[in-house]
Amino acid sequence: MMKIPRKFLSYLQFQKALRFLQLQSRDAGGNIKQLRCVTSGPAASTTSSDLIEVFGKFYCRDDYTNITPKILSKVGKSLHNQRNHPLWLIKERIKKHFYTQYLNRNRNPMFSVYDNLSPVVTTEQNFDSLLIPVDHASRKKGDNFYLNQTNMLRAHTSAHQHDLIRAGLNAFLVVGDVYRRDEIDSSHYPVFHQMEGVRLFSKHELFANVKNGEELCIFEKGCRTPCKQERHTLEAVKLLEFDLKQTLKKVMIHLFGKAGAQGKIGYAFGLGLERLAMILYGIPDIRLFWSEDERFSKQFQVIDIDQKVTFQPLSKYPPLVNDISFWIPKEGYEENDFYDLVRNIGGDLVEKVSLIDQFTHPKTKKISHCYRVTYRHMERTLTQEEVCTIHRAIEKAAVEKMGVEGRF
């Protein structure tokens, strides 16, 4: 039986945990069912040293847990669903395009849209369902945010493909916030938004407009075995390639102007909404999407989603730069761990972190890294005093949590 450490929880938190946890029960055969969590609610928080709560569901920490309070505070914001936010405008414009350009026989939209799916997924959904090998580099803790070994914040909206295809959908768009540990600069952020498009074709649909199409096949001759999947024919692949190119070309023209499932075949594409919005509206820094400054948000209060908007930059406040140098441990050092630590302490005050020097001691062979941290507030001028306070906190945390040897 799982034990909840009551001494770390308030009485109300403890009662809430008990309410959401289904403790041991027996099935018809008398066997004990596994304890599991039940979900509901819109919040994300840390509830104790052993439990993390996201949307009302409790997750037990383990050796894989690397999610930070700073990232948890972003979960549930759903910027793509906030009316007149630039990401909402991009989403609605692409949605409108698919709703009007791709219709079924009944003149109804062919593509369905899912923009409110939970960002918390299982590792099976995020990796295994997409046939990503267990030893693949994309599964690394250094690149993802794990709640525990079996649950994580999705790294891509592709995590929902398998479930939606199994539900019988042949054409759909998935929009949502995704989470990856990454470098720090004006175009990278640990939370961003994707739009996933999937379209599956039956043999009849794919070859409907091809001469003698009834004689063509999706798969080459041969049977499927546990070690070998069927191979698609060249004709099927070329038709699919053409359709995907035309689909993406039409989406880009709409925005910018003229500047495998059983017996089916299909394609999937992913669009980064922030990157599109930065180009379309001239937004220079990805942190601005999270700004609560009215000077930013008011620029996107438009009546028509297709209305042209050119972002007018806010006053450019001066940056403050501080360097940090340390000897890295012989094993276990991940650069993304350091970036994550800086983000967690400095938040959006950190504009950029750059590795500006590496040095290997000729005798001890110890390796030193020197990073330049650029601080800049998006809405006011920072003082050197407050930046020094943050920088010292980063130095202290790097030593205590990452095992580095400071050279400050």
d(C-alpha 68, C-alpha 56), whole Å? 17
The architecture that CATH gives domain 79-279 is: 2-Layer Sandwich (3.30)
For the chain, the structural domain boundaries read 6-61, 79-279, 320-406
Instruction: State the distance between the two ends of the chain, measured CA to CA, in whole angstroms.
Output: 48
Q: Which fold has domain 320-406?
A: Alpha-Beta Plaits (3.30.70)
Starting from the edge strand earliest in sequence, which strands make up the sheet with 112-114, in order? 112-114, 171-179, 191-201, 265-272
Tokens of 369: 């890294």
- Please tell me the distance from the alpha carbon of residue 170 to that of residue 225, in angstroms, as a whole number: 25
Query: pLDDT tens digits for the chain (408 residues)?
Result: 444 443 344 444 444 444 443 333 333 333 333 333 333 334 566 555 789 999 999 999 999 999 999 999 999 999 999 999 999 999 999 999 999 999 988 899 999 999 999 999 999 999 999 989 999 999 999 999 999 999 999 999 999 999 999 999 999 999 999 999 999 999 999 999 999 999 998 888 888 888 877 778 887 775 555 555 567 888 888 888 888 889 988 988 888 775 445 567 777 888 999 999 999 999 999 999 999 989 999 999 999 999 999 999 887 889 999 999 999 999 989 999 999 999 999 999 999 999 999 999 999 999 999 999 999 998 889 999 999 999 999 999 999 999 999 998
Q: Are 375 and 351 in contact (CB under 8 A)?
A: yes
Compute the 3-state secondary structure of the chain and give helix, strand, coil in percent, each to the nearest 5: 35, 25, 40
Tell me whether the CATH fold assigned to 79-279 matches the one assigned to 320-406. no
